[in-house]
Amino acid sequence: MNDRHHADVLIIGSGAAGLAAAIQLADRAHVIVLSKDSIDGGSTNRAQGGIAAVTGPGDSPEDHIRDTMRAGAGLCDEQVVRYAVEKGPEVIDLLMDYGLLFDTDSEATFHLTREGGHSHRRVLHVADHTGRAIEGALTQRALEHAGIEFLIGRLAIDVVTTGKLGILPDRAIGAYVYNRETDDVELIQASNIVLATGGASKVYLYTSNPDGATGDGVAMAWRAGCRVANMEFNQFHPTCLYHPHAKSFLISEAVRGEGGRLLLPNGDSFMHRFDPRGELASRDVVARAIDHEMKRLGADCLYLDVSHRSADFIESHFPTIRARCERFGIDMTREPVPVVPAAHYTCGGVLVDRHGATDVPGLYAIGETACTGLHGANRLASNSLLECMVFAHSAADHILGDLTSGKPRLPDAPAWDASRVTDSDEDVVLSHNWDELRRFMWDYVGIVRTNKRLERAYRRIELLKKEVHEYYANHHISNDLIELRNVILVAELMVRCAMSRRESRGLHYTLDYPHTLKRALPSVLSPSADPWDVLQPLADRRSRAKS
């Protein structure tokens, strides 16, 4: 078995961001793309709604920028927003060059949908499976390229840096990788590493994300010495299918964009009481409204009704959603669909510049893993696929410039040492900790928060960290252990950011500080900082001396 690989660029993650970067790089570099499962196993493949870009009459980049900034509640970086929006049409042209066929209307122009927070119809789509279509086009292009090597069924454990080896200046030089098939650890050395691992919504009990959304890239970047930002802003998609066997299947925001109405169990509409935009308010507003009404009524779910549209219209626009609903005995052409909010998107992440570069030279982060400044305190619907494509290309161009100037000489990293660990006979500890973490994060760090809830979560996280650290230090690693180690760390970062924000803004709503401050500041955490710098401001925190 080959337990050591070499490449110019290692890309960890095979979603839209990872594949787009790989394709851009492969003509001039040897690229290894790492995938946990199959190539199409990530969140991109689940994206239903579409990709936002200015292509329609009456729309403008300024309007798209304004909508994005408004959704971001004052925390967006306007220069980054402008850069992404202005690159939108180029991204659409590129995807079409890759063979993607967006839906068109009878005049052969793009059929555009409108989603929450958008002032125009500007969301291009392929029926209700746009992510799957984009992933398919990128995958085919990548598989055809001789410069791209895929390593499937691999889970990255940690980034290797020269600093960890006692060699300065610090830079990323590779990664340790767990081979799920052979149960061995491999070393991949590369002069540049791109983290494109997606988000961290698996930290919550209810999520629209795949099982692999465990925040691996954020955790690895933090352990490598990178700052993270805005981790308190977890977007809860307002409408996931409520059914015991649906496994949090998403009901696209485009359903509301095409006239779908949210209803109480008695059939009354309610969104007009929370926002003048009604069902087309931004996701944070809609999710909070649904959560409020469910708690007020003691209801298990609310309902989304689009049955006033024709069956032909529903079938042509939402074939995937209709088929999934019918599988569970729900005919959305005749009756409302039961829905609940679920954790959907991590708006914060690894702090990067416009090129996706982190604090560690040679280490990049793109897509949902990164905090670019595009989303601020709340992501505007369908800006995620746009971000993946735009910043994948920006990072790739920056890496190519680095490679052109001369590849750095990389010291040989040591092989993974498992000589002092043993097999564990207590795997029940992992499953128990997984369940406990996701339940208290849902209860205490969910759509509505308080100081007491956050403190409860933090105390429990500290206990879990100690248990998992001991387990990791003494036993052979496994898939569940690696992901649990990562998701506990990410949960801690989320809670620490939430504790530091003494206001309600965007996706972070706390009953203790319901008002929004005039000045918007990001929540930035550094691995070198004392956690007490963040925790001390809480009024009910015990004194440092007593703790």
Residue closest to 134 by CA, chosen among 250, 256, 18: 18
Contacts of 504 (CB under 8 A, 6+ apart): 510, 513, 514, 515, 516
Hey, which residues does 190 pair with through a beta bridge? 7
Asked if the bond preceding 408 is cis, omega within 30° of 0, the reply is no
Contact 438, 464 (CB under 8 A): no
Contact 394, 24 (CB under 8 A): no
Residue 269 is given by DSSP the state B
- Phi, psi of 463, rounded to the nearest 5 degrees: -65, -45
Cα separations (Å) of 451 from 279, 465, 500?
30, 21, 10
> What H or E segment, with its residue span, contains residue 287?
helix 283-297
SS3 of 189-209: EEEEEEECCCCCHHHCCCECC
- Measured distance between the N- and C-terminal CA atoms of the chain, rounded to whole angstroms: 50
Q: Which of 283, 288, 453, 505 is catalytic?
A: 283
Rounded to whole angstroms, the Cα distance separating 461 from 455 reads: 10
| Geometric angle at alpha carbon 412, from 407 and 417, rounded to 5° | 145
Contact 5, 156 (CB under 8 A): no
Known active-site residue 354: no
Instruction: List, by residue number, the catalytic residues.
Output: 283
